[in-house]
Amino acid sequence: MTDLIIIGAGPGGYKAALHAARLGLQVVLFEDAEVGGTCLNVGCIPTKTFVHAPSFEEAVQRQPLVVAQLRGGVETLLSQPNITLVRERASFVDAHTVASASGQHYTAPNIIVATGSSAKLLPIPGADLPAVVTSTELLQQKELPRRLCIIGAGVIGMEFASVFQRFGAQVTVVEYLKECLPMLDGDIAKRLRKLLEKRGITFHMGAGVQRIAPAAEGSSASVVFEKKGKEEAVEADLILMATGRKPVVSEDFAQAGFDFDERKGIAVDDDFQTTVPGIFAIGDVNGRQMLAHAAEMQGIHVVNRIAGKEDAICFEVMPAAIFTEPEAANVGPSEDQLKAAAIPFECHKAFYRANGKALAMAETEGMVKLCCEPGEGRILSCHVFGAHAADVVQEVTAFITLGASLQQLRDTIHIHPTLSEVLVELN
């Protein structure tokens, strides 16, 4: 008998384990792969290593070193006495019992499911061809593809498009929607896409992929899509399927009795408790906010609830970033979403080209769009593209969380010269 069982040692799971141990709880943490989950091993961290590497060769060489160092740090943290790391797959026996792959049973009054997500593939002919890869396989390539076709212009697709074009690959992006990055303000997304087009990336928007054809002479495969009623094709040496992710659920979840769905994940309430008291689901598996930092904070909140500790984490204010070149980031609803919801607002804009630090850095491509209540009232959202966009949005996230107004943001002294001064230059 232990205080808490956690299934999955990704960002949500291992951070929850560490927080619980700090609060004096005894934790059993299951992980049948590497600690750190998708984010550390085949997602956020390897991708950012590619983003910041000057060449493909250096990225390939440095990536495993960065991952190994961070993974080693996590394993060291998890070696403390209050945490038992079981490196096996866990399966539910009942609502309070979990069995390891070797047959040992563990019981606890509280269980957190943090099994994460996996790549979602389009169910089209040719999706299983050798030339088709997910982000995991793309990060394992040892040779730079001459021609890379990316299906999907979401976060994963856009980040890889940006970095592989910089490495020297010929990059084509095929997207079903009319614009990239649907979570971003439409104006911001369009400006970013146009900038990437100028740098040499070809975009086919409003294009529905029909199939992936076997290799023709001189190519590995062809992506066949329909655009404006006409069928077109793009030949590529490698094809990245970047069409989203799906929660990792298991048939044994039924033994615990909580509601779950293969497409939507595990159903939870606002405290991330499932339909069975004492069982919680955090991170990608609950399908709410598929972000590593969301998983971490959900885990902390759940542990606080188990320990009877109050917190003021505001999950309605969730910042996100896209590490293209330049970056893009956002927090809160877009201008179009505010209009659709009939929420009164006013919109303010500022451009990097008028910012002294941006000029000094030769990073003048960028724009900030901030929405607030009328009369420079409470800040509602901020969408940005440009150098260090994530840092700019992070500042605004703090203001939104505290319910601050645009006037209060303007009254806050900003260091000069910094990119964050763009926030007080909003017109």
Residue 178 confidence (pLDDT) above 90: yes
In a domain, 226, yes or no: yes
Q: Do 144 and 203 belong together in one domain?
A: yes
- Give the pLDDT of residue 2: 97
Mean pLDDT of 218-228: 91
Residue 100 confidence (pLDDT) above 90: yes
Q: Do 331 and 284 belong together in one domain?
A: no
How many domains does one find in the chain?
3
- Give the pLDDT of residue 25: 98
Q: Which of 293, 241, 11 is nearest to 126 (CA)?
A: 241
In a domain, 321, yes or no: no
- Give the pLDDT of residue 309: 97
Q: Do 250 and 110 belong together in one domain?
A: yes
Q: Do 106 and 154 belong together in one domain?
A: no
Query: What residues are annotated to the active site?
Result: 416
pLDDT, tens digit, 9 for 90 and up, residues 149-158 = 999 999 999 9
Mean pLDDT of 269-274: 98
- Give the pLDDT of residue 264: 95
In a domain, 191, yes or no: yes
- Give the pLDDT of residue 243: 96
Mean pLDDT (the chain, rounded): 97
- Give the pLDDT of residue 219: 75
Tell me which of 183, 217, 241 is where a domain ends.
Answer: 241
* pTM (2 d.p.): 0.96
In a domain, 410, yes or no: yes
pLDDT, tens digit, 9 for 90 and up, residues 375-418 = 999 999 999 999 999 999 999 999 999 999 999 999 999 999 99
Q: Do 249 and 114 belong together in one domain?
A: yes
Q: Do 25 and 83 belong together in one domain?
A: yes
Residue 17 confidence (pLDDT) above 90: yes
* Domain containing residue 287: CATH number: 3.50.50.60
Q: What are phi and psi of 94, to 5 degrees?
A: -155, -170
**Which range marks the domain in which residue 233 is found?**
132-241
Q: Do 80 and 229 belong together in one domain?
A: no
Residue 82 confidence (pLDDT) above 90: yes
pLDDT, tens digit, 9 for 90 and up, residues 301-327 = 999 999 999 999 999 999 999 999 999
